[in-house]
Structure 1
Amino acid sequence: MTMTRRQFAGTSLAAAGAAALTRKGRPSPVRAGRLLILGGTGFIGPHMVRHALERGHEVTLFNRGRTNPGLFPGVETLIGDRDGALDALRGSEWDYVIDNSGYVPRLVRDSANLLRDSVGRYLFTSTGSVYDFDRDELPEDARLLEVTDPDSEDVGRYYGPLKVMCEEAVQEIFGDRGTIARLHVVAGPGDPTDRFTYWPVRIHHGDEVIAPGDMDNPVQFIDVRDLAEFNMHLLEQDTGGIFNVAGPTLDETRMDEFLYGIRAVTTSRVSFTWVDEDFLANREPPARYPLWYSQNGPARALARVRSHRGVEAGLKFRPLAVTARETLDWFLGESEERRRQLQLNLERDARILAAWSRRGRADT
């Protein structure tokens, strides 16, 4: 009987337990595999492509060819659209697929159904936004958001519930050949959101920096390189299940550790002033800072995502200093137009600091 590519991948990867270790302590793949990435040219995709190529895998991209076309000239790219134009995926087989572009359950179901018999393992990139945040912590079995409008495809309004249904589609179609990675805020070079990037850039700018809330508030994010390496590791080891992917360590990182850790990678003269959470909330408009979540409100668990299952499966974290320095270096090398997109709100913060100082003098 002739084995399909999927069957061969399953048997060979099942025997990979004693494989040689890489310098990072992860087993090397038994052989180069064929990897299909749905998307692949946005923020997280290119890091996954580069890591897979470094590991010796043969990569194919499937996308519309609109975002960063030509980014990987040596990589096969299939042009199509998840909404009704999947024909380019027919007739080929891959050992694994990473789905980075699935937001609408109907479209995820279409691609998963088409690839069911031509792919060994399907890794779906999900989000921590599937959870109900109003609890003290978020392990993988925490309560998920209720799907109140299953017929809607309004991603802006129902991002989390739609991702819940996307996960369900992958699990239903691929069963134990499906893997779900629920990401936290993703940081690192290339990040278009500036949620993490704000802090190295602001601290590098120097002077007096507002440190919001309490020093012991937890902070979480995941370096995009750690994410890429973990995803490829899950595929190479044929690991199924659901995994939170949140760092920068397994134990909680306090806000003061986070800020002082970033300061250590710059030579700027900077000081931190801790400003009370209520004081910031009562500004008009309220002053908000990236990666800071009140531990007194309904979103408190956003900073207490548990990644123990991922660490047991091979998730590793690079040091905060490395992420901060390399993200800052990347950002400073971007065009002036791009750098201007990050709003430091220096004038706003100066007004807040002045008001905070006046309050302090009034209390003495």
Structure 2
Amino acid sequence: MKLLVLGGTRFLGYYVVLEALKRGHEVTTFNRGKTDRGVHSRVKELYGDRDGGLHVLQSDEWDAVIDTCGYLPRLVRASARELADRVGQYTFISSISVYKDLSVPRSHEDSDVLELEDESIEDIPNHYGALKARCEQVLDGVMPGRVLTVRPGLIVGPKDPTDRFTYWPVRMSRGGEMLCPGRGDSEVQFIDVRDLAQWTVVMTEAKRTGVYNAAGPGVALTMREFLERGREALGSRAVFTWCDEAFLAEHEVRGWSDLPVWLPSGGQLSEYRGILQADYSKAMKAGLTFRTVEETVLDTVRFHGQRGDGAQWKAGLSAARETELLALWHGRMSGEQTAGGSGEAG
């Protein structure tokens, strides 16, 4: 297969290219050349800008394109129009965030999606889900019947630039007392980037079309189970201290950012809990498989070790802030004369 990858050097795009090469495909990447230029061997690299610099795509034709970096409808429309007569299929990486009501669990592919009232809006941080939903609609309009739309949940693993998962494996590897959110019974979902990349390439090979949620890890998993399995895999002696949501809210500890892979059951962020509770059974029936949580945890710690001590964390509590919060928690527990302020009791 001749495959064009829009992006191809960072995180999911990087692993899509690796998987395609592994499976014997001829790969061309298109990006601005600003990140990890030349990171892949045996790949034809085209450099340009999606915003007015697509002319280099006129040099060839491909069996399929996998778009890992489409965020704005205007630019996705331009890419689709440029490629409509040059590719057989368009695989678009969208997001679970497209769903209109993420306060309820089990959003499925036919659930209502967000609407972008004004397509001139290009504020990605504040309109991410609606922009992705509109991108999907644009593609279906330009290339009807030829689009595979993949809606991933939280993507994790080596090369993750967000630290939204990396924080926990690395924190467990350090050991000591850890601040953990709630009671540990909240559901969590995430998918290893390598599993997502493999399945995306396989689905593109098979010329599959339609919409698929893509989350993991294949079984129901709570926050407590995730951390316990990670701790055991790492051989860590970390001690978990579970702090209730009221305490975390009082001290302005935020889910998803301060304490990643977790969203509170109350408060403003609770309206997004469905991000970690999507229905991805359709993708599993279509062949999506998963490596173990333990493998993802171990490989994530190895990846972090390659970054060096100077890495700037984008998510998670600093050591000083965690120590401060644990002291406040134990002080409260002591004041209330309540047992179980540390260790597994929380």
Q: TM-score, normalised by structure 1?
A: 0.87
C-alpha contact 2:260 2:316 (8 A) present in aligned 1: no
C-alpha contact 1:202 1:344 (8 A) present in aligned 2: no
Given candidates 177, 183, 188, the residue that maps to 2:152 is 183
Name the CA distance, whole Å, in 2 between partners of 1:38 and 1:282: 44
C-alpha contact 2:99 2:113 (8 A) present in aligned 1: yes
C-alpha contact 1:332 1:339 (8 A) present in aligned 2: no
Matches within 5 A, 1:78-227: 78-132=46-100, 133-227=102-196
What is the number of equivalent residue pairs in this alignment? 331
2:323 aligns with 350
Runs of at least 5 residues in structure 1 that lack an aligned partner in the other structure: 1-32
Name the CA distance, whole Å, in 1 between partners of 2:314 and 2:246: 28
Report percent identity of matched pairs. Answer: 42
Name the CA distance, whole Å, in 1 between partners of 2:41 and 2:23: 18
C-alpha contact 2:105 2:278 (8 A) present in aligned 1: no
3-state SS of paired residue (2:30) = strand
3-state SS of paired residue (2:216) = coil
3-state SS of paired residue (1:327) = helix
2:180 corresponds to which letter in structure 1? A
Shift in Å, 1:135: 1.9
1:188 corresponds to which letter in structure 2? G
1:77 aligns with 2:45: yes
Shift in Å, 1:285: 5.7
Matches within 5 A, 1:25-36: 33-36=1-4
1:184 corresponds to which letter in structure 2? G
Q: TM-score, normalised by structure 2?
A: 0.91
1:7 aligns with none
Given candidates 240, 250, 255, the residue that maps to 1:282 is 250
Rate the CA distance shift 1:286–1:129 in 2: closer, same or farther, 3 A: closer
1:13 aligns with none
C-alpha contact 2:164 2:315 (8 A) present in aligned 1: no
Given candidates 292, 304, 315, the residue that maps to 2:262 is 292
Matches within 5 A, 1:247-258: 247-249=216-218, 251-258=219-226
Shift in Å, 1:106: 1.0
3-state SS of paired residue (1:117) = coil
1:114 corresponds to which letter in structure 2? E
RMSD of aligned alpha carbons: 1.6
3-state SS of paired residue (1:360) = helix
Shift in Å, 1:142: 1.9
- Cα deviation, 1:302-337, whole Å, max 9, x if unaligned, reads 211111010011111110000000110111122322
Shift in Å, 1:174: 1.7
Shift in Å, 1:277: 1.0
1:151 corresponds to which letter in structure 2? S
Matches within 5 A, 1:311-350: 311-338=284-311, 344-350=317-323
C-alpha contact 1:181 1:245 (8 A) present in aligned 2: yes
Name the CA distance, whole Å, in 2 between partners of 1:306 and 1:38: 27
Runs of at least 5 residues in structure 2 that lack an aligned partner in the other structure: 338-346
Shift in Å, 1:86: 1.1
After superposing the two structures, state which structure 1 stretch, 221-230 or 153-162, moved more: 153-162
C-alpha contact 1:293 1:302 (8 A) present in aligned 2: no
Rate the CA distance shift 1:325–1:74 in 2: closer, same or farther, 3 A: same
Given candidates 49, 55, 60, the residue that maps to 2:23 is 55
C-alpha contact 2:164 2:316 (8 A) present in aligned 1: no
Shift in Å, 1:54: 0.5
C-alpha contact 1:44 1:224 (8 A) present in aligned 2: yes
- Cα deviation, 1:196-251, whole Å, max 9, x if unaligned, reads 100000001110111201221011111000010110111111111111111112x3
Name the CA distance, whole Å, in 2 between partners of 1:35 and 1:94: 6
